[in-house]
Amino acid sequence: MKDHDTPGAGGTTAVTPVAGPGPGRTGLDQPRILGAAVRFIDENGLRELTMRRLGAYLDVEGMALYRYVPGREALLDGVVETVVDELFGDPDVHLEARAGWADYLRRLAHGLRRIALAHPEVFPLVATRPPAAPWIRPPLRSLRWIESMLTVMTSAGFSDEAAAAAYRAFSSFLLGHLLLEVSARGVEAGLDAVPTGDLSAYPILRRMEPHLARDGAAQDFEEALEALLDRVTLLLPPPRAVDLR
């Protein structure tokens, strides 16, 4: 796997595509079904996903899927796991800190953003699906990645309490920013759109509307991420004074 010095900032090319239906593909297994479910949601939206429609998408009877996936709820859990696991195929994201904890978190944040932008119709499911334990916070809801992050932070000198606080802050930052970003692309994310209405009585809003409507998501993400890392740095214990006597 090729290494990179800096994490990718905005594209989605590093995300490994999931498998979908294709000519000449025979037989069913759980990975193929889950990969097809991700592609179905990407193309049609989450509301359209049913076992019957997914079966038709795979050119099989919907009942045939139940041998591998017990039902729609298990299917949705599998979709979330499949999408989050794309981090393992992202060459810019590492399970260990190769250049310090801040670089590790930058890479992880950009990897999760690439997933959200590659699968905007799926990401609200990643964000809102009930986790297996109450302390697991989306969107980083993989036990292996949570273990990786906490290992990196504690190895860098953060106390257990500070590392847990950093995990909570990191998760909250990503969840809020990425949900807003995918909802701005027209994806249903549980955020009801508010009609703008007539701006004639609001001269400042009317004047500033072009600035407010500017797509600055990537820059906002970078600035907010750096501000978060600055705050996390404050959780580190102060360096010990060196006695030069």
pTM of the model: 0.76
First to last CA, the chain: 49
Separation CA 143–CA 212 (nearest Å): 38
Q: Is residue 142 part of a domain?
A: yes
* H helix intervals, the chain: 30-44, 51-57, 72-84, 101-118, 123-128, 143-155, 160-183, 203-212, 217-233
Separation CA 32–CA 20 (nearest Å): 7
Query: What's the mean pLDDT in 23-51?
Result: 86
Tokens standing for 3?
């290494």
Of all residues in the chain, the percent with pLDDT exceeding 70 is 78
63 with 97, same domain: the answer is no
CATH of the domain at 170: 1.10.357.10
Residue 51 belongs to domain spanning: 30-69
- The model's pLDDT over 129-148, given as tens digits with 9 standing for 90+, comes to 887 777 888 998 888 899 99
52 with 105, same domain: the answer is no
Residue 187 CB partners (closer than 8 Å, separation 6+): 120, 121, 123, 124
64 with 160, same domain: the answer is no
Separation CA 206–CA 128 (nearest Å): 35
Q: Above 80 in pLDDT, residue 19?
A: no
| pLDDT-derived band at 8, boundaries 50, 70, 90 | very low
To the nearest whole number, what is the mean pLDDT of the chain? 82
Number of domains in the chain: 2
Q: Above 90 in pLDDT, residue 241?
A: no
Specify the higher pLDDT residue, 3 or 56. Answer: 56
- The model's pLDDT over 164-205, given as tens digits with 9 standing for 90+, comes to 999 999 999 999 999 988 888 777 654 333 445 666 777 776
